[in-house]
Amino acid sequence: MKMKKLVILTGAGMSAESGFSTFRDSGGLWEKYNVEDVASPDGWERNPEMVLDFYNRLRKQLMQAKPNAGHQGLYELEHDYDVKIITQNVDDLHERAGNHNVLHLHGELMKVRPVNRENEIYTLTPENCEIHLGDKDKNGIQLRPHIVWFGEPVPMIEKAIEWTEEADIFVIIGTSLNVYPAAGLIHYVRKGIPIYLIDPQEVHIPSGLPVHIIHKGAGEGVKELVQILKSHL
Distance between start and end Cα atoms, the chain: 12
Of 71, 94, 104, 106, which one is the catalytic site residue?
106
Q: How far apart are CA 81 and CA 183, in angstroms?
A: 24
CA-based Rg of the chain, rounded to a whole angstrom? 18
208 Cβ partners below 8 Å, 6+ apart?
A: none
E strand segments, the chain:
5-10, 82-87, 102-104, 107-114, 122-123, 143-147, 169-173, 195-198, 211-214
Residue 14 dihedral angles phi and psi, to the nearest 5°:
-65, -40
> Is 106 annotated in the active site?
yes
Q: Which helix (H) or strand (E) holds 132?
A: none
Please report the DSSP string for 98-127 in residue order.
T-S-EEETTEEEEEEEETT-SS--EE-BTT
User: Active-site positions?
Assistant: 106
